[in-house]
Structure 1
Amino acid sequence: MAVGFIFIVGLINLSFIHNVNCRLSQTEATRLNYFMSEVMRCARLPAASVALVSNGEVAYTNGYGTANQPEGLQAGRETAFCLGSGTQTFTATLLAKLLSNNKNYTWDTPISKILGSWVMFYDNHRTKNLNLKDILAMRTGFSNMDMVPLSRAMGRYRLISNLKYAPEIAKFREKYLQSDIMFVLVEEVIRELGSDTWEKLLKRHILDPIGITQPIFLNVKERQTNNFAGPVLSYNGNPYAIPFTSLKGFDVISAGSALCLSADDMAKWLLFNLEGGKNSDERQVLGTAHLEQLFEPWMFRTEDAGPRSRGFEQPNIQVSYSRDSNTLGWIKGHYRGYPTYTQGGNLPGYESLYSIIPGRAVGVHAAFVGDNSHKAYAAISLINIFGLDMLLHGAPWFDTNNVCKIMEDMTAHLSKLEEKNASNPVHKAPDAQRELDAYAGDFRHLAFGDIKIVKNESEYLHLKYGSVADYIMRPTYTPDVFILEAKPGPLWYSTHADFYQQKGPYLAYFNVLEADDVIDSVRIPHFDRYMDPVFSRRVKIPEPEPDEVICESGSTINTASVLSVTFMLILNMVAS
């Protein structure tokens, strides 16, 4: 449902009076309110949420704007916004709690030892060594497989089985790469350690003891309140409320992305981490030593991992707000010379980011609904910067009358960092170069699973992937290249919303066997941020890395040859 934006500062400021928790001075609160109205106006945000804590107390919590476009719900400090990857600090804390009571496993225990031979990767070194620390510090080297949860391509158990073919982007522990998909393993480890689901264990061991009583999970069955900010993207310049159920596929990696909380609840979370693992009643929920383990850095972040990887540093911004390395769930950086820990993330229609400076006992959280653009990341970062300055100095380093210009400069910096491969433009054509039946059929990628291309009665090709992705394939004047247009449904926004339109058309490139001029495979770049997965009619099982095993007799067996026979049997079964 699309409705027009109304950005009148006076109207937005009325929401500041509604249900506010504030220990700021009147001058500070007024300055913050004006700043938020400017950010929302410049970034065209329908709704936002902010929490500030300082010296063991909640300094400010509030919500702004319209949280639910169809219902006209006004956002308040108890309105929940989804955190995306901001969920990961909660999961890390739960793991610390479960491991503290477990004598058999540690952060360094290989996942394959905890879950058994079910967990396997293409190379034996990863299979034998990849652990929880590797996943939380984002150093596995695997791609993110973005389209798998978005399209609900497969369930948890098939995904874990498919990880043996997960695309490698970097060598193991070589560099930082965002790989939320690996949280499917984290969730299984949590089930093994706690004998229950991630959601129930998180509530029992972490959220309830801290006083967070109304969490919302992306699993719609868990949603028990209407005080919830629904996801929004722009369409033709107006907010378009996308269905909450369109995010249901992220259940498969719930432990990495599925938590939604209010400003009030996030204030409790910030205080818990700043107060050494204690709740508001001074009860120790997690031992200080176990909590401190989560803040130890393990993987340096480089700019080539994406425009969001390093935050903002001088001279591109007056005061650096950096994100230098990954810890166990957090991102360590610096602000005004202080070690600063941040985390946040985005889902379609959501942005979140929170920061704590333990040395000064201050923390800030911000979340909003809107486009997942560079400007959105600039806005969410600037809110955190403003909040930290308010708590540290009582005023920001920038002129609040110049918010739009500062955000534009930050956005331009992010755009420069983004690598864009030059490609020849494609244009729609009335007909394809071949008969449409030549393109139809079943195609498979060993990690991403199956796509089906069919011709319907209207003489159009459709690409179907997972349980919700359904695209019309428009022919172009470029041979064997089609433009994908999402059909009406949960993922309609993925090719029609303004943010996705600006990224250019989603394309499918068919590859041909030159010997007989037959369509053999199809490459779909937008399915993953790091690589272009190729789905093939004839799946080829790759040869595993050789690994010699010493027999009792002293002779050696090359396991590659043994596994090769096994894989050929699997291939024959697939073909049949």
Structure 2
Amino acid sequence: MNANEPKRTNKRLKRQTDGHDAVDSFSCNNNNSATSEESTIDAVMSEVLSCLRIPGLSVTLVKNGRVILAKGYGTKDKNGQEPVTSSTFFSIGSLTKAFSATLLSKILYEKGHDLETPLTTIRELNDLRFSTEELTAHVTARDLFSHRTGIPSYDKARLGGQITLDNIAQILPLLQAAFPLRSKLMYNNLMYGLVGHVTQRLTRKPWSDAMQDELLKPIGMRHTAILNTSNYEQFQLPTPYDFTKRNFNATREISPKILKLWSMNAPSMAIVSDSVDMGKWLLFHLNEGRAEDDTQVIPQEVLAETYRPVIPVPHPRNKFTARPITPVTFIFEEYGCAWKVGYYRGYPLVTHSGSTLGFSSILTFIPSMNIGAYLNFNTFDRSHFRRRVIMAYLLDILLEETPWLNSSTICTFPAPFADWQYIPKSGANRTRGTAARALSSYVGRYHHPLFGSVNVVHNATEPFLRMFYGPLGHWALFPNNSDEFFGVGQGAVWNFALKDLKFTSLNANNEEIDAFIITSFEEKKPPIFKKVTEVSGINLNLFLTILFLLSLLTYHIVAHMVKRKRKSN
């Protein structure tokens, strides 16, 4: 510790008889200023919720070893019937990744390994095989944690509903790298599925049990759980929303079915928690791996390795929260193990965000000042600006600095500091044109080794195609021109737009359509689906019904098998 750093304290949260932890009242210098600061925060948060069209918000502030604020604002849905409180569960999204990285780091340490140990040199993992010999021989836990395997995300494969923590090792050879190992950050949720798989094999427990037994319970996070395909309703999560593509001032509800499906890759996004427990998580890090009872849950040096940056993570929007555009700099451009590192007002910080289809979170702590903050709201923040500027405001309160933001500038950001407008990538080339051939020419079942099968059908009464994938995927495909299309999501995938879809022929001597390139499924390595069967001369409604029932049945069979495996273990 530097001589200039404030001395850290080990004060713990007080207990209540209901089993949850009480939160010390907000305090800075004295009781009067505490009341004033909390009232100011309350007013700003309420105004921000209104102007940004966010129904509910969860906030946690910690300082000098105490949770000084754990509070809910707004309501759980747009109807405004049920308030958000300090005990309201929110999906924390990719903040889950830090839990996953911490857990596996702890397990590897206890087994005599570290983050630099090649996975296949560990006895329990020597059968893992990646797409190349180099990856198989050299990939480490740190590579998985820091997204530097060079493997693109292949994230849309999760819509197929077939990938689980138990079988993800079987698809590893199909995950082709786009860049050399450790050369570039390629954000990859499926690699965190592999983190969960590795954890299960090393602990011989389901990942969710290992997380509870080895990390959450020792820290004292009793109001934190793992979302799965069958337990969503019990947490009574706030209703998630996203902004519509045509009107960014309007929001639409996101189907819980998508969150259930995504939770099959639990180590990347499936933790749900409340504001009080997230305070314990912040204190765990600020107290260097110690729990509220002062138990050393993980050695300080092992935990510190998860913060160490190993690869750049530049982003073009970072300039909007840095001088000279803004009065202060809030930036993070290096990545460690599920953590980004950077600076706020010159103070080194550790941070990460979470974005899971209707829930937007960010957690930040500044070790040298012994402060940290967490916030989460139930609207999809695609630009990340909303959560970043709210966080900047809260950090100023903790640092006892005069905030450079207020409710007005939070609501208009980047204005008045800069001009900027969010343009969705999926909005490219959505001009409807005329297909190069009869729509029936594109109809068929197309297959890809990793993604599985998609079905393209046509109803003679409709001037477009329909595409189906997995238990929930349904798109209306409209021609741009020639054999190119774009997809508009239907039902549960209404906010999953598809672009640059191209039907083609792989046979130079035959112009008949026999392949379908779905660029939006993986832009770095666009998958080519090959036609395997025709789907023609069939009643569309009957086909859709059969297809939906078969997909739903497959999804529930997989979910049931996972649930039975958990119980058997």
Q: Tell me if TM exceeds 0.5.
A: yes
- Return the letter of the residue paired with 2:467: L
- Cα distance in 2 for residues equivalent to 1:228 and 1:21: 25
Q: Distance in 2 between matches of 1:411 and 1:82?
A: 32
- After TM superposition, the structure 1 = structure 2 runs for residues 489-528 of structure 1, keeping only pairs within 5 Å, are 490-495=492-497, 506-512=499-505, 513-528=507-522
Are 2:280 and 1:271 aligned?
A: no
Q: 1:478/1:253 Cα in 2 relative to 1: closer, same or farther (>3 Å)?
A: same
Asked if the contact 2:159–2:471 (Cα under 8 Å) also holds between the matched residues in 1, the reply is no
- Once residues 340 and 443 of structure 1 are traced to their aligned partners in structure 2, the CA distance between those partners, rounded to angstroms, is 47
Offset of residue 397 of structure 1: 2.6
For residue 391 of structure 1, what is the aligned residue in structure 2? Answer: 398
Give how far 1:117 is off: 5.8
| Corresponding residue number in structure 1 for 2:409 | 402
AA aligned opposite 1:390: I
Provide the residue aligned with 1:546 in structure 2: none
Post-superposition Cα deviations, 1:97-116, rounded to whole Å, max 9, x if no partner, equal: 2123213x332222334454
Contact in 2 for aligned 1:118/1:161 (Cα 8 Å): no
Alpha-carbon shift at residue 410 of structure 1 (Å): 7.3
| 2:469 maps to which of 451, 465, 479 | 465
> 1:148 corresponds to which residue?
157
Q: Is the 8 A contact 1:232 1:369 kept in 2?
A: yes
1:529 to partner: Cα distance: 5.4
Letter in 2 for 1:385: A
C-alpha distance in structure 2 between counterparts of 1:477 and 1:527, whole Å: 18
Q: Residue 167 of structure 1 contacts residue 447 of structure 1 at CA under 8 Å; is this kept in 2?
A: no
1:435 aligns with 2:444: no
The Cα of 1:530 is off from its aligned counterpart by 4.2
CA RMSD, 1 decimal: 2.9
Shift of residue 79, structure 1, vs aligned partner: 0.9
Deviation of the 1:28 alpha carbon: 0.8
Residue equivalent to 2:387: 380
1:101 to 110, 130, 133: 110
Identity %: 26
Partner of 2:197, secondary structure, is helix
Distance (whole Å) between structure 1 residues aligned to residue 417 and residue 132 of structure 2? 40
CA contact (8 A) 1:443 1:536 kept: yes
Counterpart of 1:537 in structure 2 is 531
Match of 1:478 in 2: 481
Q: Deviations over 1:295-329 (max 9, x none)?
A: 211112223xxx56788322232211111211122
Q: Is the 8 A contact 1:40 1:46 kept in 2?
A: yes
Give the superposition deviation at 1:150.
3.9
Q: Distance in 2 between matches of 1:96 and 1:146?
A: 24
Distance 1:449 1:409, change over 3 A: farther
Using a 3 Å threshold, how does the CA distance of structure 1 residues 412 and 342 change in structure 2: closer, same or farther? farther
| 1:393 positional shift | 1.6
How far residue 224 of structure 1 moved from its aligned partner, in angstroms, is 7.1
Is 1:33–2:38 an aligned residue pair? no
3-state SS in 2 of match to 1:510: strand
| In structure 1, C-alpha distance between the alignment counterparts of 2:70 and 2:410, rounded to whole Å | 21
- Give the aligned partner of residue 553 of structure 1: none
The Cα offsets for residues 165-193 of structure 1, whole Å up to 9 and x where unpaired, read as 32433221002221122112111110011
- Residues 437-479 of structure 1 show CA distances to partners (whole Å, capped at 9, x for unaligned) of 42122323333332222345756633221222122333x3612
**How far did 1:221 drift?**
3.0
Would the aligned equivalents of 2:45 and 2:407 in 1 still touch at CA under 8 Å?
A: no
TM-score (norm: length of structure 2): 0.80
- Residues 261/522 of structure 1: CA separation in 2 closer, same or farther (3 Å cut): same
Partner Cα distance (2:289, 2:181) in 1: 32
Whether contact under 8 Å (1:378, 1:410) holds in the other structure is no
> Given that residues 154 and 449 in structure 1 are in contact (C-alpha distance below 8 angstroms), is that contact kept between their aligned partners in structure 2?
no
Spell out, residue by residue over 1:531-566, the C-alpha distance to the aligned partner (whole angstroms, 9 max, x if none). Answer: 53332338xxxxxxxxxxxxxxxxxxxxxxxxxxxx
Q: Secondary structure at the match of 2:396?
A: helix
Q: d(CA) in 2 for partners of 1:421 and 1:247?
A: 21
**Structure 2 residue 431 is the aligned partner of structure 1 residue 426:** yes
Aligned residue for 1:181? 190
Greater shift after overlay, 238-247 or 453-462? Answer: 453-462
Q: What amino acid sits opposite 1:535 in the alignment?
A: F
Residue 361 of structure 2 aligns with an amino acid whose one-letter code is S
Contiguous gaps of at least 5 residues in structure 2: 1-21, 28-33, 533-569
Q: Which residue of 2 aligns with 1:499?
A: none
**What does the per-residue CA deviation read over 1:261-320, in whole Å, with 9 as the maximum and x for residues that have no partner?**
1111111100111011112222222222222222211112223xxx56788322232211
Q: Hey, what's the Cα distance between the residues in 1 that align with 2:299 and 2:90?
A: 29
Change (3 A) 1:446 1:387: same
> Shift of the alpha carbon at 1:252?
3.5
Q: Conserved in 2, the CA contact under 8 Å of 1:297 and 1:332?
A: yes
Distance in 2 (CA, whole Å) between partners of 1:260 and 1:292 is 24
Partner of 2:542: none
CA spacing shift, 1:224–1:241, aligned 2, 3 Å = closer
Aligned residues: 500
Deviation larger for 516-525 or 263-272: 516-525
Relative to 1, partners in 2 of residues 1:50 and 1:147: Cα closer, same or farther, differing over 3 Å? same
The residue correspondences of 1:132-211 to structure 2 (distance < 5 A) are 132-152=141-161, 154-156=163-165, 159-211=168-220
CA 1:53–1:226 in 2, change beyond 3 Å: closer, same or farther?
A: same
**Any unmatched runs of 5+ in structure 1?**
1-18, 496-504, 539-576
Distance (Å, rounded) in 2 between the aligned partners of 1:473 and 1:110: 44
Return the offset for 1:428: 5.2
Distance 1:347 1:391 in 2: 27
- For 1:324, what is the secondary structure of its paired residue? strand
